[in-house]
Every structure is written in structure tokens, then in C-alpha cells.
Amino acid sequence: MTEQTVGFIGTGVMGKSMADHLMRGGHDLLLYNRTKDKAQELIDNGAIWCETIRELAAKADIIITIVGYPADVEEVYFNEVGILKHARSGSYLIDMTTSTPLLARKIADTAKAKKIYALDAPVSGGDIGARDATLAIMVGGEKEAFYAVKPILELMGTNITLQGPAGSGQHTKMANQIIIASTMMGIAEGMSYAKKAGLDQENVLKAIETGAASSFALSKLAPRMIKGDFAPGFYVKHFIKDMNIAIQSAEAMDLKTPGLIQAKNLYDQLASSGEDDSGTQALYKLYDSQA
């Protein structure tokens, strides 16, 4: 599927880089974002600005969304001037927002009735993965639609897996976020412990990042903690949103998630102290204040 017209909605921390990869891959790129300024660099590089979602949806062969919250997804897709009202029959919809499995199924069912293909395809890898086109992309939907758009997804990520029917991508992302939640507590605690013990934190990291404690988060975010760099690769407020979805999904399956709940409590404390727009590595601040 080459040189298709791709509509992209949501040019935030990750979306901007993802959209740029699509354009560099040879696709005509239509853009819509609530704040045009955030899309200006892409426009300057050749992307076409659309004044409304309706305009974008009517012109695009493939429409990709990566917005903030499930409520934003609902509005973008189901509003009277939204995607599902104006996308063409035979087009492909790919929601890469971390949202709810239930909403993903609702989009897919509505799209199918209109002879439109829909996939839920949340991602993991943060700003670095988006910048380097190495995102993990977890997909839910029909196999035919998945393979039709896989070349598009391959421009943004390297680990692309079809997990099952609609909603399965979102369930997979919830498993991912549950693991990250407890991992972030461990990294923040470990780096604070090293500091309290009077150790060189960078030397400690060098010793442990290739051992049993190794992880993407440890290698990429612990250095930011040590340097006091709390700029967002992934916002605290969005991680809290994800954890809320994961808790609700787990409760619906009668699954207890004590690690997730504790992490959510800590991030709520962090947000209440004014760190909503910081990166998730800012959790370290709660521990560092004691070190």
C-alpha cells in the first residue's frame, strides 16, 4: 500500500514524529490538530493542513488518530463532523490512542456497518520510539485490514503484532501499562536507594542495566531521573489515564492488581503537586525528596 493519502489527527509529543515518518515514506499527508501551531513544522515540510476533521476524513484513504483521552477518541470518531460520519467506504481507520477496549469495539462495529475497516493500534516506546520509528504497535481488528495497512505501520514501528479481534490491541496495551507501572516504582526506588547509600548513581546504572533488572524504562528513563530531566516523553497525566483504564478493565474481569493500584496512588500524588505535564520519570521526585 504505497503512496496512499494518509490523514493524521493528533500531532503531539509522539504524533508529530510518527506523522513525519509517514511523509518521508512517500505518502501524501493530511493533518488536523486542535492547535495548528503544533503541526506547523510538518506543514512547512509539505503536509497539507485540513481545517476540519470532516475535510480530512472525506479525502483520506487511511486515517490515523493519536489523541489524548477516550473522550477525545469518542468525539473525533462519533461527532456529527467526525470521522465515522464522513470517511469514505473502503477506507481504513487506525486509532493509535491508548483508549478502552470497549470503545475500540464500538468504533469497529460502527465502521463495519459503513463498509469501513477499523483497527485499534496503541503504541509503546514513548518519544524516543516515535522519533526513531521503533515503536511497538499492538493491533486489534480483522486480519485482512491488518495486513493491508501493515506497510504503513512499519514506517512507525518495528514490533508490530496482531493480537486478535477489535479491542485486543487495547487489552495488550493495558498489560504493557500494568507492567510499566510497577517497573517505574522500582526504578525510582532503586535510584533513590543508590543516592541515599552515597553511591554514584550513574555507575550503579552502568552495573545493573545489562543484568536481571534491565529494561527499556531503566536504560532510557533512569538517566533522565539522575540528570533531573523531567521533560515529557510520555505525560504523567496520560499515564494516569492509562492506569485508570487498566484498573477498570481488570476489575471488570475480577482481577486484582495491587502493584498497579499503588503506582496509580503515587502518580496521583505527583499530579496533585503540579507534575501533570511532566514525564513519567518525574515519579523519582517523590522518592528523591527523602534521599
129: CATH: 3.40.50.720
- What are the C-alpha distances in Å from 264 to residues 12, 182, 192, 256, 269? 23, 10, 19, 14, 9
* Whole-number pLDDT of residue 77: 98
Residue 232 confidence (pLDDT) above 70:
yes
Who's near 88: CB < 8 A, 6+ residues apart? 57, 58, 61, 116
pTM listed for this prediction = 0.93
Q: What is the pLDDT of residues 18-28, one digit of tens each?
A: 999 999 999 99
Co-location of 19 and 49 in the same domain: yes
d(CA 34, CA 81): 14
Residue 138 confidence (pLDDT) above 50:
yes
Co-location of 27 and 158 in the same domain: yes
Co-location of 159 and 197 in the same domain: no
Co-location of 34 and 79 in the same domain: yes
d(CA 108, CA 101): 11
- Residue 152: domain span: 5-165
Co-location of 186 and 155 in the same domain: no
d(CA 115, CA 73): 20
Co-location of 144 and 244 in the same domain: no
Residue 164 confidence (pLDDT) above 80:
yes
Co-location of 156 and 177 in the same domain: no
Cell numbers placing 238: 496520560
Angle between helices 201-208 and 216-227 (to 10 degrees): 170
Measured torsion, CA atoms of residues 181, 186, 192, 195, in degrees rounded to the nearest 10: -140
Instruction: Answer for the pair 25, 9: CB distance below 8 angstroms, yes or no.
Output: no
Co-location of 140 and 279 in the same domain: no
Tell me which residue of 127, 125, 130, 153 sits closest to 140, measured CA to CA. 153
Per-residue confidence at 122, pLDDT binned at 50, 70, 90? Answer: very high
Q: Which residue among 165, 183, 205 closes a domain?
A: 165
Q: Number of folded domains in the chain?
A: 2
Count CB atoms within 10 A of the CB of residue 129: 25
Say which of 16, 59, 106, 173 is annotated catalytic.
Answer: 173
- What are the C-alpha distances in Å from 180 to residues 162, 167, 173? 21, 20, 10
What mean pLDDT value characterizes the chain? 96
Co-location of 209 and 244 in the same domain: yes
Q: Which residue among 124, 140, 165 closes a domain?
A: 165
Residue matched to cell numbers 493519502: 5
Cell numbers placing 216: 527499556
Cell numbers placing 159: 514490533
Cell numbers placing 116: 469501513
Per-residue confidence at 272, pLDDT binned at 50, 70, 90? Answer: very high
**Domain harbouring 195, CATH code:** 1.10.1040.10
Q: Which residue among 165, 191, 216 closes a domain?
A: 165
Co-location of 151 and 28 in the same domain: yes
85 is catalytic: no
Co-location of 132 and 188 in the same domain: no
Who's near 166: CB < 8 A, 6+ residues apart? 104, 105, 107, 108, 109, 118, 119, 120, 140, 141, 142
Residue 291 confidence (pLDDT) above 80:
no
Residue 195 confidence (pLDDT) above 90:
yes
Give how far the C-alpha of residue 291 lies from the chain's centroid of Cα atoms, to the nearest Å.
32
Tell me which residue of 104, 84, 100 sits closest to 92, measured CA to CA. 84
Residue 2 confidence (pLDDT) above 70:
no
Per-residue confidence at 1, pLDDT binned at 50, 70, 90? Answer: very low
- Mean pLDDT within 176-200: 97
Cell numbers placing 13: 509529543
Co-location of 129 and 236 in the same domain: no
Cell numbers placing 96: 493509535
- Mean pLDDT within 160-166: 98
E strand spans, 130-251: 135-140, 157-164
